[in-house]
Amino acid sequence: MVLHSLSLIIKGLIVGIALALVFSSLSVISETFYTIYNMIVSMCDLIPGIALIPVAILWIGVGDGAIIFMVIHAVVWPMSRSIIDGFNAVPELYLEVGRNIGLSPVKLIFGVFLPAALPRIFSGIKVGWARAWRGLISAEMIFGGGGALGIGYFIQDRRTNTDIAGVFATIIVIVIIGMIVEYGIFRNIENKTFRKWGMTR
């Protein structure tokens, strides 16, 4: 049950983070793309995931694919916003140095923009995870768990069977997993990297 849900959110996170990195990087290279993509991010970030359920059903059908689609939607927009804000905050001096030593736009992204914006990118991943986790549970409650029993489907099933103890037990599991990821993974990474390097307080 838990492993199936975690496998879905990991797949959605990987795709969502990759899309956000690619599109946000393209926005650095092209001013026109930046204007268009920034507008798309602003619009799509306002759309609740639940409003896209009919679209997911029509395009993908009911099952794991639709759930992953919902996770990607929950991740890609806040992640893109954080990356773009991080790129915009890169000091102009860094960019001038990169250009002076002959870095191409692509090399500037990997050599200057991404390293300088790492704290913002990491913050975007944390926000994306939180939204994706909530979106996953909601989507599983509606779509079910596909071939396996997901956490969201399980809590819905317990509600249908009026198993209040089972509902609260599942809620506790959801909270525990969220706390483990937040404090056991993200907080440790942050303490051992960005705070150690003096990039954040």
Residue 30 lies in a domain: yes
Q: What is the mean pLDDT of residues 66-74?
A: 87
Query: What is the C-alpha separation between 57 and 31, in angstroms, rounded?
Result: 35
pLDDT score recorded for residue 36? 92
Q: For the chain, first and last CA: distance in Å?
A: 38
The CATH code of the domain that includes 8 is 1.10.3720.10
Q: Domain for residue 177, yes or no?
A: yes
User: Is 175 part of a structural domain of the chain?
Assistant: yes
**What does the block give as tokens for 75?**
């991740």
Judge whether 200 lies within some domain. Answer: no
Selection from 145, 144, 134, 114 nearest residue 174 by Cα? 134
CA distances from 124 to 33, 89, 107, 140 (A): 21, 14, 22, 24
- Domain assignment present for residue 198? The answer is no
Q: Report yes or no on whether pTM surpasses 0.75.
A: yes
Q: What is the residue range of 53's domain?
A: 2-192
Going by pLDDT thresholds of 50, 70 and 90, the confidence category of residue 18 is very high
Q: Tens of pLDDT along 80-124?
A: 988 888 888 888 888 888 888 877 888 888 888 888 888 888 888
Residue 199 within any structural domain of the chain: no
In a domain, 158, yes or no: yes
Helix (H/G/I), strand (E/B), else coil: 176: helix
What does the pLDDT read at residue 194? Answer: 62
Q: Is residue 197 part of a domain?
A: no
Local confidence band at 198 (pLDDT 50, 70, 90 cut-offs): low
Number of domains in the chain: 1
- 63 close to 77: Cβ distance less than 8 angstroms: no
Does the pLDDT of residue 19 top 90, yes or no?
yes
